[in-house]
A and B are shown apart, each in its own frame.
Chain A
Amino acid sequence: MLEFLLSLLVLTGASFAFIGSLGLIRLKDLYTRLHGPTKATTLGVGSLLIASAIYFSTYSEQISLHEFLITIFLFITAPVSAHLLAKAALHLGLPSLAEIPEAEEAGQTEMTGTAQTGATEAFEKNERIGSENASPGEKARPEKSESITKTPGTPDQTRP
């Protein structure tokens, strides 16, 4: 009886995790794709963890409660990562099936504006550093020239 319940839980968990992953292929844009992993997976992983807790509580000496902790952390972190992905997508202006509200696009241009200012500053800074030891092609890639300035002794592969 217990084994039947356990296998049911494991099968449910596996199917939901599978459906969540299937969503990544079947759905059309980034925003809709985010729905699959955040939701279908919470119940999927949730029931797998419940199965694990029941199994180890029954078949070993101790009661196993680690799984509930994992569930709690999963429920806290899954929405946060989904939110950060969605927010980054909004800032980058990725194509969406749904119409993005105008205010967000305005906010987004404002954001890109500040991002550009930041980029320009970094660019100028790099130019100052770069005038000593980097070729013009590397100035366009700030993180690259930064690593070069950190290790001036190493030979540079990208230099023509």
Chain B
Amino acid sequence: MTRLLPHPVLTPVLAFIWLLLNNSIAPGQITLGLIFGWAIPVLTIHFWPDKVSIRRPAVLIRYLMVLFYDIIKANFTVARLILGNTDQLHPVFIKLPLDLTTDLAIGLLANSITLTPGTLWARLSDDHSYLLIHALNETDPDRLIATIKQRYEKPLKEIFESC
């Protein structure tokens, strides 16, 4: 089973992307998409060290919606900061201690941090124990860390690492 279908999640995603690329839902295209979705993971199995498993799909959908809302908010926040007085900005580097252990979850968290209000992922420590974040304008680092942990890290932990 694991040899024949190594990534059950990747197969439909690749098939969906294939359909988007072709802009069609003809039966032939669906078949071809599914064939690619099956063949690519099988051929590239050595490049995927960890098995991806989504334990809580509902939480994932809610997480993506929260993220989408935050991305739009981030755009307005950053636009206001750029148009405002740039000398008044208070940029700062913040260390965010990590509870996540899977590479995929850390990657998603890091991407979310970069896409959301005024923060940018600068570096992951060598032992994967904290992320170094650059904040565009932040006077209260502790509050920011608490927000990120509550808003992004907790759902990600539930989705990918819940026991």
Interface on chain A toward B: helix, strand, loop, or mixed SS?
helix
Q: Is the CB of B122 within 8 A of A90?
A: yes
Given A68-B20, A82-B114; A101-B82 close (CB under 8 Å): no
Given A80-B111, A98-B91; A19-B79 close (CB under 8 Å): yes
Nearest-CB residue, chain B, relative to A22: B82
Q: Is the CB of A78 within 8 A of B115?
A: yes
For residue B72, which residues in chain A have a CB less than 8 angstroms away from its CB?
43
Which residues of A68-90 have CB atoms within 8 Å of chain B's CB atoms? 68-69, 75-76, 78-80, 82-83, 86-87, 90
Given A32-B89, A39-B75, A99-B92; A87-B122 close (CB under 8 Å): yes
Q: Is the CB of B122 within 8 A of A101?
A: no
Nearest-CB residue, chain A, relative to B135: A98
Residues of B in contact (CB 8 Å), total 35
For residue A65, which residues in chain B have a CB less than 8 angstroms away from its CB?
20, 23
List the one stretch of A23-31, A139-147, A152-160 in contact with chain B: A23-31
Find B121's partner among A32, A79, A98 (CB 8 Å cutoff).
A79
Q: Is the CB of A87 within 8 A of B123?
A: yes
A residues lining the B interface (CB < 8 Å): 16, 19-20, 22-23, 26-29, 31-32, 34-36, 38-40, 42-44, 62-66, 68-69, 75-76, 78-80, 82-83, 86-87, 90, 96-101, 103-104, 107
